[in-house]
Structure 1
Amino acid sequence: MDNFRILAINPGSTSTKIAVFDNERSIFLKSINHSNTDLDQFASITDQFEFRKEVILNELIQADIDIEKINAVVGRGGLVKPIESGVYEVNEALKHDLIKGVMGEHASNLGGLIADDIAKSLPGARAFITDPVVVDELEDVARITGNPDMPRRSIFHALNQKAVARVFAKTRGFVYEELNLIVAHMGGGVSVGAHKQGKVIDVNNALEGYGPFSPERAGTLPTGAIIKACYSGDYTYEEMKKMVNGKGGLVAHLGTNQAYDVVQRIEKGDKQAELVLSAMCYQIGKTIGGCATVLKGKINGIILTGGIAHSEYVVNYIKDMVDFIAPVAVYPGEDEMTALMQNALMVLQNKVETKIYK
């Protein structure tokens, strides 16, 4: 069997994760955390391109990785137009929409752009994205809001949610498409999806301020208060956007985007930190309960995943709220790097065909 070397790139709101695989064997893995100081110097996500690319290349050089042997670079998909699940080879149409931010700004937009730029410098290398955050499997009834001009949109942590759901199913002797699951991804943003036999039929749009608040995002806010703030003259358009995504949630309340730091403060007796983190957990549990009604109570399992799932405080709080619904499984961190690799490898081994982004 041919040996393929794959570089996987996963830019998140507060970190950049990179991994190198020889076929399915991981030979390098690194998560690079970015502080607010690192990122506040950039006016937009796209402006972070060179900074994040150089960080990646420097890490590979320091790890003595021969990048000339790389056959494919696969990046986490970004906010492109709603598309079906699958692997997409980076093309000009895709890059145009990632740069433009046709569905909004998010660090994942950089995944395909950096993948393409690195691949172009390597002989014969290909660039892909797979299962981007705009994978759309919503049932029509889930799209309707009280205003026909403002439908709900599917923007969530599709790659990791589907990856851990498949792992959960496999370890129990099932396939993903046979189960009904609720998956809560808890990172810089929080998305909670109702998975019905292989499709995410309902999920909160964590990027644009819907659902639980998170380390950096405000979540659902009172509409009247938002309107008042918009017309108060106290905030610019850009400041309002940051209020919802970037400087909301734990950042707004406590000045940090790190749940670990908040737990440390709680252990030192900080009651305000305890109240705010409990409120975030409360809202996640409440949203999981809402997904239970979407699945009509027929649920095989609840999965907690993402970086914040490393926190016993957070996990125990949510478990206490929802374990009456279904058994709770915890997959701390993300399985996204393996998922990126597996999708790219299937293309290189001619097991699946790439899809064309138009």
Structure 2
Amino acid sequence: MLTDTILVINCGSSSLKFSLICPQTGETLLNGLAERLSSESAELKYSFQNNKQVTSLPAPFDHQAAIDVLVNILKQHQLVEKVSAVGHRVVHGGEKYALPTRVDEQVKQTIAELAKLAPLHNPANLIGIEACEKAFKHLPQVAIFDTAFHQSMPEKAYIYGLPYSLYQEHCIRRYGFHGTSHYFVASQAAKLVNKPIESCNFISAHLGNGCSVSAVKNGKSVDTTLGLTPVEGVMMGTRSGDVDPGIIFHLINQLGYSAEQVNHLLNKESGLLGVSQLSNDCRELETAMFEQDHAGAKLALEIFCYRIAKAIAGFTASLTELDGIIFTGGIGENSSFVREQVLTQLSLLGVEIDPDKNEATRFGKSGVITTAQSRAAWVIPTNEEWVIAEQTQQILSAE
């Protein structure tokens, strides 16, 4: 049994995901999810030694209640003493945090201040930190920021074509997200090409309900599609991705939308869901397209794949070499159709997909999906929790 583990916490506004991980090996001892928080139907599901359990949460059904139940579960399985620290995923670190950071009062204050840039995420992340501080008073808490990996981007990549004073006075710039995922898969791809990460150049596509494409040059992020918020970039499950900003004024001034309605439309009603008028789930859209010849599903997937291919092709402008293309995330790892459609549109980059390898590389499997003579493309399952555990351990070891 492992004696040195990190408890990884990922808080959403109504959920709390957790894993107990060995930072050296990535082995997961226990993991689970508390969901529907702040409602009477709140429950916590967890898996330990391949046994799955579900338990309801006590009032007030909040994040603290979920953490308290988690502590009891750890005690029940004699795991509390094996936890050496708690690592937290924090979505927005602004420009201040480019590295894992030990949580103190100043760090918490800054996370709260940055909620103006991530109003749906940072407040929930902070709630998780404070709940864990109460439950694990003796343990160090470490924040791992989703934006940190992208802090290496040059100004030409992150400054918008707006008055520069908006950046100087209000921090309006591109930050990028999914940083831990892009960092992890780039590190794994470096092993596949047998080169140090500092010598590697990749384009990484994290494709799920939220999507981003990133250019990695000499192991560092030099560009990414997500911006000030997670709406920019390629089309996603329910988010629009890039649109003409003039559309917003048209919706408000000509069609009578409120600013709140526009925000909801761009974040919750657009993307695959909005175009297909059917679903934001790629699996359902593929089924509808192939089995029902659903026109909306077909169009949504065509737009989705085209914009991903266009983003990958565009990011070659930030590189002088390209070792390969990486697919990760729920769609990137499991949809052989999406990968095929994206790579077919990148023949100018010398990419040729191998249909058999592509079809075989799904459901947690990793590997190359291109032919022997092609520029490489891989499927690499992401493991953001392991990154958080590993980086939490690193900062504590350095101290």
TM superposition score normalised by structure 1: 0.82
Q: Is the 8 A contact 2:63 2:127 kept in 1?
A: no
Identify the residue that residue 183 of structure 1 maps to in structure 2: 204
Alignment pair present for 1:73 and 2:86: yes
Provide the residue aligned with 1:20 in structure 2.
20
Counterpart in 2 of 1:338? Answer: 386
Identity %: 23
Within 5 Å, which residues of 2 pair with 1:1-358?
3-11=3-11, 17-24=17-24, 25-30=27-32, 51=62, 54-55=65-66, 58=69, 64-66=76-78, 68-69=80-81, 70-100=83-113, 101-107=115-121, 110-133=124-147, 135-149=150-164, 152-205=173-226, 207-232=229-254, 234-253=256-275, 254-269=277-292, 270-296=294-320, 298-309=321-332, 310-322=334-346, 324-325=348-349, 326-332=375-381, 334-348=382-396, 350=397, 352-353=398-399
**Counterpart of 2:291 in structure 1: which amino acid?**
K
The separation in 2 between residues aligned to 1:58 and 1:251, in whole angstroms, is 35
Contact 1:111–1:129 under 8 Å retained in 2: no
Query: How far apart, CA to CA, are the structure 1 residues paired with 2:287 and 2:12?
Result: 23
Whole-angstrom distance in 2 between the partners of 1:169 and 1:34 = 39
Q: Distance in 2 between matches of 1:169 and 1:130?
A: 22
1:208-250: CA deviation from partner (whole Å, max 9, x where unpaired)? 5322110021101122222211334622222222222233212
Counterparts of 1:286 and 1:97, CA distance in 2: 36
Q: Which stretch shows the higher mean deviation, 211-220 or 239-248? A: 239-248
One-letter code aligned to 2:20 = V
Aligned residue pairs total 338
Scaled by the length of structure 2, what TM-score is found?
Answer: 0.74
Give the secondary-structure state (helix, strand or coil) at the position aligned to 2:146: coil
Give the conservation status (yes or no) of the 8 Å contact 1:78–1:106: no
Residues 323 and 337 of structure 1: is their aligned pair in 2 closer, same or farther, counting only changes over 3 Å?
Answer: farther
Q: Which amino acid aligns with 1:148?
A: P
Alpha-carbon separation, structure 2, partners of 1:221 and 1:305: 25
Tell me, in whole angstroms, the C-alpha distance in 2 between the residues paired with 1:197 and 1:218: 31
Q: What residue ranges of structure 1 are gaps of 5+ in the alignment?
A: 39-48, 354-358
SS of the aligned residue for 2:378 comes to: strand
In structure 1, distance between residues paired with 2:186 and 2:99: 16
| Greater RCO (Cα-Cα under 8 Å, separation 6 or more) | 1
| Whole-angstrom distance in 2 between the partners of 1:33 and 1:266 | 31
SS of alignment partner, residue 125 of structure 1: coil
| Runs of 5+ unmatched residues, structure 2 | 41-59, 167-171, 350-374
The 1:15–1:302 alpha-carbon spacing in structure 2 relative to 1, beyond 3 Å, is farther
| Aligned Cα root-mean-square deviation (Å) | 3.2
Say whether the 8 Å CA contact 2:85–2:141 is kept in structure 1. yes
Deviates more, 1:137-146 or 1:107-116: 107-116
Amino acid at match of 2:208: G
Larger radius of gyration: 2
Q: Measure how far apart 1:285 and its partner are.
A: 0.9
CA contact (8 A) 1:17 1:30 kept: yes
